[in-house]
Structure 1
Amino acid sequence: MSQDYIFVRAFVPFVASLVVKAWHKSDDSSGDVEVILSGLAALNDEIDWFKKQASKWRFNLVQTLSHWGYRFLENLMSPEVDYTVAMTAFWAIEAVYQESFAHCLEEGSKTPPELVEVCQRWGNDGFGNYCSALRCIADRRLEKAPVDEVSKAEVTFLSVLEYEVEFWNMSRGIPGY
């Protein structure tokens, strides 16, 4: 869980930069800013929750991670990265997280009882609906995007998947991560 906490802390500036990109690139009727802003507000609750869990489970929140995709997030914050590309990454990151934990709630998943609360936190339908809203924004942007921007979004999407696999392996304590 400490890796997740550290990721959330690094994720906050990325999501904040996405609010700015949405403000510049979307119109008020789309609701993009409001959807992204609701996610940013939820990250504060996540940080508080992790702090409570650290006390409960006695794990260290101060450790640092060697390399996981923090530079990737920093690169996505660059003004040169288009809103569509960054939005695609945001949706992918959130959706992988939600779907992974939702899977742990499925019948027959053999989730240890002590982890059910964690799975319910991120695998719930409310978070799933939020991820669907993010996907709608990304899809709408991609439909209107020029071919080169769509290509960049595809490459970014694949990078997110690679980083997610690496992150989950690191979280599971697989050697080399």
Structure 2
Amino acid sequence: MQAYLKSKKQLWDEALYHPFIKACSDGSIRKSQFEAWLVQDNIYVLEFMRFMAQTLAHAPPEHYSVLISGLSALDSELDWYKEKLAERGLSRDVEVLPGCNTYIKMMQSFADKPYPVQIMAVWAIEYAYSEAWATGAGDPDDFKAPYNEFANRWGSKPFREYVDQLAQKAQEALQGTSKEVRKEAEAVCDKIASYEVDFWQMAFDA
């Protein structure tokens, strides 16, 4: 994973160090920007959970525990999103904005990909969240309230450990695969980094 990330440093830096994250950290993010992100991210997480379930269906048994733990966390996370939206008086029944919709459609297109490609996609998606909130704007503890709650959720040590477990499973899945599959897996990760940028920007432009 490190070799891949090093080779695509500029692409991933754009995803991890976006102005949206930095604005959350220093408290300059506008209410409308953050709420646009929160509502759309709730929609995205629901679709991501479906994708995770499809990935589990293709996974070898020795990968079940990590993926099931991820699904369980996502289930709890959807309840947490419901609470956060209710606190702000936001509806979950909203139009899906283009930046979210295109990302979801891309993720849905992974459903018929080989398992090594799917698990790489899962890792890349979770890695993007972990690293953005953990390092994209400094230490999570430095985020201004109320955004420190979000930084501490995804920038936490337990979440990063989970992402590391996904990286290990992805590496295991890629071993012995063809050059074409490895190339496809990297291409999928490239797309995820690009769509992460678009998702942040979608909210930042709100």
Regarding TM over 0.5, the answer is yes
- Which residue in 2 is equivalent to 1:32? 63
CA displacement, residues 107-161 of structure 1 (integer Å, 9 cap, x when unaligned): 4986322110111111101010000000001112223211110111111111111
Q: Give the count of matched residue pairs.
A: 166
Q: Determine whether 1:72 maps to 2:72.
A: no
Runs of 4+ off more than 6 Å: none
- Which residue in 2 is equivalent to 1:50? 81
Partners of 1:38 and 1:10 in 2: CA distance? 17
- The code of the aligned residue for 2:90 comes to F
CA displacement, residues 49-81 of structure 1 (integer Å, 9 cap, x when unaligned): 011001112222211323331111111112xx1
- Which residue in 1 is equivalent to 2:155? 123
Note the 1:25-174 alignment, pairs <5 A: 26=60, 28=61, 31-65=62-96, 66=98, 67-78=101-112, 81-103=113-135, 106-107=138-139, 111-173=143-205
What's the CA shift for 1:104?
5.8
Partners of 1:107 and 1:160 in 2: CA distance? 24
* Counterparts in 2 of 1:14 and 1:55: CA distance versus 1, 3 Å: same
With CA pairs under 8 Å and 6+ residues apart, which has the higher RCO, 1 or 2? 2
Gaps in structure 1 of 5+ consecutive residues: none
Gaps in structure 2 of 5+ consecutive residues: 1-37
* Counterparts in 2 of 1:35 and 1:173: CA distance versus 1, 3 Å: same
- The code of the aligned residue for 2:179 comes to V
* TM-score (normalised: structure 2): 0.75
* Counterparts in 2 of 1:107 and 1:16: CA distance versus 1, 3 Å: closer
* TM-score (normalised: structure 1): 0.87
Q: CA RMSD in A?
A: 1.8
Partners of 2:156 and 2:197 in 1: CA distance? 21
1:9 to 26, 41, 46: 46
Partners of 2:95 and 2:158 in 1: CA distance? 30
Partners of 1:138 and 1:40 in 2: CA distance? 17
State the identity as a percent: 27
What's the CA shift for 1:171?
2.3
Partners of 2:140 and 2:155 in 1: CA distance? 15
Partners of 2:182 and 2:41 in 1: CA distance? 29
